[in-house]
Amino acid sequence: RDADGLADPFLIIRNGARKQNVLDDVAHVQYNTINPNFYRCFELPTMIPGNPVLKVEVWDKDNQGATLIGQTEIDLENRLLSQEWLEMIPKPVERRYLWSPASLAPQGKLELWLEMLTPPQALVNRPKPIRPPAALDCELRVVVWSIRELLIGGKSREIDFDGAANVFVTVKAGSLPHQESDVHMQAVDNALIHWRFLFDVALPTRSTKLLVQIWDTRATGPNDALAECTLQLGMLYSNMQQQLSMQELPRQWYSCTHPIYLGLQAKIDMEIAMLPRSQAEQWEMMAGIGRGAPNQLPFLPPPKRGGIIVKQKAQGREAIKRILQMTRKAHANARTTPTGIS
């Protein structure tokens, strides 16, 4: 990988050392990705026995040349001797690990399809261009209702001083920009959010992670992370592509953790849905961001947070503390100040 964690992968296919048995596909390099979609078809001549091993190599192109990421090897002679493989019609799609001599761990997976033909068969069955599937435009909807069992102690000096946090939620779908909710001021261990997040997602995609984070915000200084949870939506996306209709994850509580603090840090109440864009744009199926219009599916009422009351109580406690401190100071001064008659 490059310094930014990404790579510029391309393929080299070989089943021997002769020039006709090596295909260098650097012209179709995929830039800045660790999830390349090649969609390439290759034809190589082979002799069995002779050059029975097919190697598919994935390389990373850089300014100094190229570095091997990993490779997979297929024994073609074993395939021809396998009656089970010969009888498979059509041949199956294979998912094979990529191995590198520099590591004992696999460097990724390669999805491929292999077929072997005699010269007469190859003349009749010419390869067809491989194209990526047409994108399916969808809308992902994430509704965050509330937070409970939120642990705020020790997360920042400001929180410990106030005894409360100004809580808001961010949601990030895959590589799309994150979105923010409004703020529940002076929350202690529970917070009401009632916020809808909307994302435009094109399927298929490899970015199926949903990151939900709970934060504390202040008038000055950076926000402090309170808790987070990560959901994998791969199954939801797959069902969307297969059924082409609204898919839902019912409302439920999700556990949240923190990368620094041990144990459960909060629970967050959410529901998730995905619709095809054509369905999401029908009037009866539209929904607004946050609590905006049209506020439906579901309707999100303004949360009754009571933040002002909590803040007033906190201010009242501080006022009592100040009065007691002033009283003690006055008594102390009375005991130490000398009196006299002039």
* pLDDT tens figures, 181-227: 999 999 999 999 999 999 999 998 888 999 999 999 999 889 999 99
Per-residue confidence (pLDDT) for residue 324, from 0 to 100: 43
Burial class (CB in 10 A: 0-12, 13-18, 19+), 28: exposed
Q: Is the pLDDT of residue 96 over 60?
A: yes
CA-to-CA distance for 56 and 38, rounded, in angstroms? 13
| More confidently predicted of 330 and 36 | 36
- Sign of the CA dihedral with 305 first, then 311, 314, and 320 last: negative
Mean pLDDT of 103-118: 93
Residue 2: pLDDT band (50, 70, 90) is low
Q: Which residues contact 111 (CB under 8 A, 6 or more apart)?
A: 93, 94, 95, 96
Q: Model's pTM, two decimal places?
A: 0.66
Q: Which residue has the tokens 């992902």?
A: 140
**Do 117 and 129 contact (CB within 8 A), yes or no?**
no
